[in-house]
Amino acid sequence: MSKQLSLFLTLIVFSFQIQAQIPNPALVGYWHNWNDVSAPYIPIDQVDDRYNVIEVSFAIPQFGTDYRMEFIPDQVTPANFISQMQTLQSQGKKVLISIGGATAPVSLNNVVERDSFINSMTRILTNYGFDGMDIDLEGSSLALTGGTINAPIDLPVIHLVEAVKQIMDNYRINFNRKMLLTMAPETAFVQGGMSAFGSIWGAYLPVIHALRDSMDLLQVQLYNSGSMYGIDGGIYTQGTADFIVAMTEAVIQGFTTGGGTFAGLPASKVAVGLPACTMAAGGGFTDTATVSSAMRYLLGQGPAPGSYTLTNTAGYPGLGGMMTWSMNWDAIATCGGIYEYAENFEHIFGSTTTSIQENAFMQSPQLYPNPSTGDVFILIPENVKTGSRFLMMDTQGRTVLEERFAGSGRIQLHVKELNRGIYFWWMDGYTGKILLE
């Protein structure tokens, strides 16, 4: 084998190993690491199977320390918790540790606090084997006194970005893959930047901007919010279909603030965050029919449910999914139906039991089924140009299959005649591997 070919295969394998992907569509649920009379503790491996991203709540600062974070399972031993979490991971679900929450602010005012946060979060991620980290900082954690989205001046913002980047680097070294990263800010910290840029208003925007390439999902809390501006200049009230649609399109299309323009995110990186039932939040609960009508309009599958009109008339069929606070609230019959939120998600997006939805927009080409005993299909995202080559290679680097993308969105690969085993593929700079059984 030539050195060039060996290097190419090494790069393919390395690229595949470090990639990590959040499910699309994602049903994200926060999980309580405590027992509550109204929303009882649920063993983490016994949550509803439709939840494919589980956010463990919470890692919090140890009292009296310089933001040394800790996570201690409440009802089971650490070893039992790890075993339960590994059961979920073996089913293809992603389990992330969420930091902060409403009652545990994290404000990294100096490098000592930053480094303490980095070291302790790296230790938690490594010791437990979480798939990633969720940033759920609220209250006094972040505030702006000046600067811009592109050039913040406030140390807690700057240090948080630096910390997350270093934690991600540490994770890659420890696990040889990308750490998943999600964020769940309140609306004032994001869309609130349209009405003001200072204090909490827009305070998350510099963080989102700095980490946009690493972030897998932004799930703004569309509750406990009050009213907010949309990008059309209208004012929309929580608990309505218009609020869901307007707030979601704002983070996709982007908007202008007193601190500069916030460039939008791909729809695949945006999820709609809502309470599971009336008791789960102080305000902003939205009934299932209203949620369904808003989501179908966002996905390009239905008419406008209110007065807000999407800028993109085709909608966003690749929308990242839905998030809820919380799975524990969703599980109880005294606050809506049992797993009413998960059931509504399933009605909106269809069954999530298949590994890839054919109508879901993907960021990179996706092969399925994988492993496969017969022919394989490849889904092509919109950013791949017509005429691009698809190459499939064996472990010796020999091309065994070549196709040209003709613009249909899906290619059927006739691989039944190939020997069973592992193959690598390449298309438009994306790489991966597939197992033929």
283, pLDDT greater than 60: yes
Measured CA to CA, the distance from residue 16 to residue 10 in angstroms comes to 10
Give residue 352's pLDDT.
39
* Structure confidence by residue, pLDDT tens digits, 293-322: 999 999 999 999 999 999 998 999 899 999
Alpha-carbon span 28 to 194, nearest angstrom: 27
- For the beta carbon of residue 126, count every other beta carbon within 10 angstroms: 14
Task: Tell me phi and psi for residue 198, to 5 degrees.
Answer: 170, 155
What is the band of 140 on the pLDDT scale with cuts at 50, 70, 90? Answer: confident
Structure-block tokens of residue 116: 């303490």
pLDDT in tens, 141-173: 999 999 999 999 999 999 999 999 999 999 999
Confidence of residue 409 (pLDDT cuts 50, 70, 90): low
Of 138, 162, 186, 340, the active-site residue reads: 138
What does the block give as tokens for 138? 């609220």
CA distance linking residue 112 with residue 406, whole number of Å? 55
DSSP state string for 153-191: --HHHHHHHHHHHHHHHHHHHHHSSPPEEEE--BGGGTG
- Nearest by Cα to 33 from 116, 93, 95, 86: 95
* pLDDT at residue 351 is higher than 60: no
Determine the pLDDT at residue 8. 46
Please report which confidence band the pLDDT of residue 188 belongs to, taking 50, 70 and 90 as the band edges: very high
| Unique residue bearing structure tokens 């963080």 | 207
Q: What is the pLDDT of residue 411?
A: 77
270's tokens = 């945006």
On the 0-12 / 13-18 / 19+ scale of CB atoms within 10 A, 137 is buried
**Spatial distance between the Cα atoms of 165 and 86, rounded to a whole number of angstroms:** 25
Q: Look up tokens 């999914």; give the residue.
A: 321
pLDDT in tens, 4-26: 445 444 444 444 444 558 998 99
Q: What is the pLDDT of residues 239-264, one digit of tens each?
A: 999 999 999 999 999 999 999 999 99
The phi and psi torsions of 346 (rounded to 5 degrees) equal: -65, -40
Q: Which of 29-38, 298-307, 422-431 has the lowest mean pLDDT?
A: 422-431
Nearest to 371 by CA among 290, 437, 424, 280: 437
**Residue 113 designated active-site:** no
Helix (H, G, I), strand (E, B) or coil at 332: coil
In angstroms, the CA 18 to CA 15 distance is 6
CA-to-CA dists, residue 308 to 228, 234, 247, 272, 333, angstroms: 13, 8, 10, 16, 33
The Cα–Cα gap between 172 and 17 comes to: 10
Instruction: Extract the tokens encoding 435.
Output: 């197992």
Token couple for 84: 């339960």
